[in-house]
Amino acid sequence: MSALRERIQERARALGFDAVGIARADVPLGPEFERYVDFVRAGRHGSMGYLAAEPEARRRLDSEAILPGAKSVICLARRYARTPDDEASDPPLARRVARYARGQDYHNFLRKKVRALAAFVRTLGPEVRARPLCDEEPLLERAWAARAGVGFVGKNGLVIIPGQGSFVLLGEVVTTLALEPDQPIAERCGSCTLCLDACPTQAFDAPFVLDPRRCVAYLTIEDTAGDRAGVTEHLFGCDACQSVCPFNKTRAPAAPKTRPFRPLPVWEGLGLADLLRLDEPGFLALTTGSPLRRATRSGLARSAARLAQAEAAAGRATDDVRAALALGREHDDDIVRAITRGASDGER
């Protein structure tokens, strides 16, 4: 089986994955699953009802929900970190977006890579089955990645790969092929609390315990009507807890590999006012192939309006900010109107 492991790892790396680990798929999660149950019982999933759906499917991977008869799960990670020099040329508004979302929607190309690996695994034995998974199925993927030795789960709840950091995207291939599992990596955060201290909304109830309902990512993507107190710099998502992590002080991959994560051309010259001018066809055109579509037109307009409000309140009422506030006062979304009508644009 070691030869099969090596072939799978070689194929995964050839497909562009930066880390590969294997875990038993037929051994259910224990403490990790209990933490998930506590998370749901506490209502921390907020409006993300899909996180509470099919709880038992999340305990193990060899069930009807994932793949009956599964023996192994191949856990994969793809880095998206870019060099500081590369990021320095990002358009100003793109810098208000989480790094993973400035470029192409990663689901489109990452799923192709995971599917390609699953197809390869099926060639490794008679009647071998393999199912690719990538951000759609009811799966506690960070827990499985940690069990597979890809990395460890840090205090901010993200998978940290020693030597590579946490700016990674995850995928899995669950298979009936029996493979020798890797050993988990012990948690290495020690006494460091930089990620917890950096959170702009104090969304961590304790180390390893995030309340998404206070997280910037949730408030700019999932529930844009919520209270955004403390969220003054972000349009879509947040990297604060990762930016300060010592494990992310690593060399980024070569530029060709991170090209999909460079800002799309639509960001050039784009301002807050442009986001508030969008009608539905304009929004769909702007967000083609972009993760920002998930925020919806109203959600993106609300975030843009709050950014304009914060800039004006800080004495940075540029022409773009004033135009955004003026457009917001006549917007078709009532929350956008409420935000901007309560703001001063530096002219009144």
3-state DSSP assignment of residue 52: coil
Q: Determine if residue 305 is left, alpha or beta; phi over 0 gives left, psi from -120 to 50 gives alpha, anything else beta.
A: alpha
Q: Do the domain assignments include residue 182? A: no
Q: Exactly one of 26, 86, 135, 182 is catalytic; name it.
A: 135
- Average pLDDT on 330-340 reads 95
* 152: Cα separation from own chain's centroid: 17
What confidence tens digit (pLDDT) does each residue in 54-82 have? Answer: 998 899 999 999 999 999 999 999 999 99
**Picking from 14-18, 166-170, 254-258, 317-321, which range would have the lowest pLDDT averaged per residue?**
254-258
Q: Do the domain assignments include residue 151? A: yes
Distance of alpha carbon 32 from alpha carbon 38, whole angstroms: 10
Residues 69 and 214 in one domain: no
Is the pLDDT assigned to residue 225 strictly greater than 90? no
Residue 107 and residue 134 in contact, taking contact as beta carbons nearer than 8 Å: yes
For residue 79 the two structure tokens come to 């880095």
Give me the phi and psi of 50, to 5 degrees please: -60, -25
- Average pLDDT on 112-131 reads 97
* 207: Cα separation from own chain's centroid: 19
pLDDT for 145: 98
Q: What is the mean pLDDT of the chain?
A: 94
End-to-end Cα separation, the chain, in angstroms = 73
Distance of alpha carbon 207 from alpha carbon 194, whole angstroms: 11
- Average pLDDT on 192-211 reads 96
Residues 9 and 79 in one domain: yes
For residue 205 the two structure tokens come to 């109830």
Domain, as residue range, for 169: 2-175
What confidence tens digit (pLDDT) does each residue in 6-47 have? Answer: 999 999 999 999 999 999 999 999 999 999 999 999 999 999
Q: Do the domain assignments include residue 196? A: no
Q: Do the domain assignments include residue 34? A: yes
β-bridge partners, 132 = 173
Q: pTM of the prediction?
A: 0.93
Give me the phi and psi of 19, to 5 degrees please: -145, 145
Q: What is the DSSP letter of 347?
A: -
Those residues whose C-beta lies under 8 Å from the C-beta of residue 323, and which sit 6 or more positions away, are: 271, 272, 273
pLDDT for 314: 92
Q: Do the domain assignments include residue 348? A: no
At 344, the pLDDT band (50, 70, 90 cuts) reads low
In order of 152, 156, 220, the CA distances from 199 in angstroms are 20, 9, 15
Task: Quote the number of domains for the chain.
Answer: 2
What confidence tens digit (pLDDT) does each residue in 134-148 have? Answer: 988 899 999 999 999
Q: Do the domain assignments include residue 126? A: yes
The kind and range of the H/E element at 205 are strand 204-206
pLDDT for 297: 97
Concerning whether 90 is annotated as a catalytic residue, the answer is no
Residues 144 and 226 in one domain: no
pLDDT for 232: 77
DSSP codes, 115-129: HHHHHHHHTTSTT--
Helix/strand/coil (H/E/C) assignment for every residue in 144-182: HHHHCCCCEECCCCCEEECCCECCEEEEEEEECCCCCCC
Residues 170 and 205 in one domain: no
Residues 107 and 229 in one domain: no
3-state DSSP assignment of residue 97: strand
